[in-house]
């Protein structure tokens, strides 16, 4: 087997069976490839964080003997919170499946709420709301003789500097 560089040709000589096997290998390898770009929108996860995780998980794949065209590339689009995936169809599908597994709603969410006040002072409202929440909790405890799960309510205020 010899290659001729100016015309990008392989010249094969030998037994017909061996040449047929080599031709099937060459046909599989010698293709333009489908390196389309797919946008995967994220609902729960951050695009930048997902790209970091996927890149870290695929370090071994990118260092393997696979040609560069066989490895999928991932890029975060923080503007739309989406991940752009390019590469061969098989590697693209594998990466997209991985991204969808990472983009899930967290099981535990906090109940912290930040409320910006327009007219009232936060320091004044803390006293009122703390009093109301403690009276609500004591009413619930006196009405139920059975032990219940205690839910603590904490109300805090910080002064926001005015421009």
Q: Which residue has the higher pLDDT, 163 or 34?
A: 34
Of 37-46, 58-67, 108-117, 142-151, the range with the lowest mean pLDDT is 142-151
Determine contact, residues 143/109, Cβ cutoff 8 Å: no
Largest CA distance in the chain: 96
Q: How many helices (H) and strands (E) does the chain have?
A: 5, 5
φ, ψ for residue 110, nearest 5 deg? -80, 160
Supply the pLDDT for residue 87.
Answer: 87
Tell me the C-alpha to C-alpha distance, in Å, between residue 155 and each of 11, 17, 127, 138, 143.
80, 81, 9, 17, 24
Supply the pLDDT for residue 39.
Answer: 95
Q: How confident is the model at residue 117 (pLDDT cuts 50, 70, 90)?
A: confident
pLDDT digits (tens, 9 = 90+) for 18-70: 989 988 888 877 776 677 899 999 998 999 999 999 999 888 765 555 555 56
HSE, CB side, 13 Å, CA atoms: give it for residue 87. 20
- Give 154's strand partners: none
Q: Kindly report the average pLDDT of the chain as a whole number.
A: 80
Domains for the chain: give ranges and CATH numbers.
1-30 (no CATH), 32-106 (3.30.1370.120), 110-163 (no CATH)
Determine contact, residues 122/157, Cβ cutoff 8 Å: yes
């Amino acid at each position: 087997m010899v290659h001729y560089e100016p015309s990008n040709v392989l010249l094969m000589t030998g037994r017909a069976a061996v040449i047929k096997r080599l031709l099937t290998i060459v046909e599989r390898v010698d293709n333009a490839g489908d390196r389309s770009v797919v946008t995967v929108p994220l609902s729960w996860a951050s695009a930048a964080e997902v790209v970091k995780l996927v890149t870290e998980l695929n370090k071994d794949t990118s260092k393997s003997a696979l040609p560069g065209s066989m490895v999928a590339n991932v890029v975060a689009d923080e503007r739309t919170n989406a991940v752009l995936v390019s590469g061969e169809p098989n590697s693209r599908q594998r990466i997209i499946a991985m991204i969808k597994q990472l983009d899930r709603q967290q099981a535990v969410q906090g109940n912290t709420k930040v409320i910006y006040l327009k007219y009232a002072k936060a320091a004044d409202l803390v006293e009122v709301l703390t009093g109301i929440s403690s009276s609500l909790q004591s009413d619930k405890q006196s009405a139920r003789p059975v032990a219940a799960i205690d839910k603590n309510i904490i109300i805090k205020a910080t002064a926001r500097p005015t421009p």
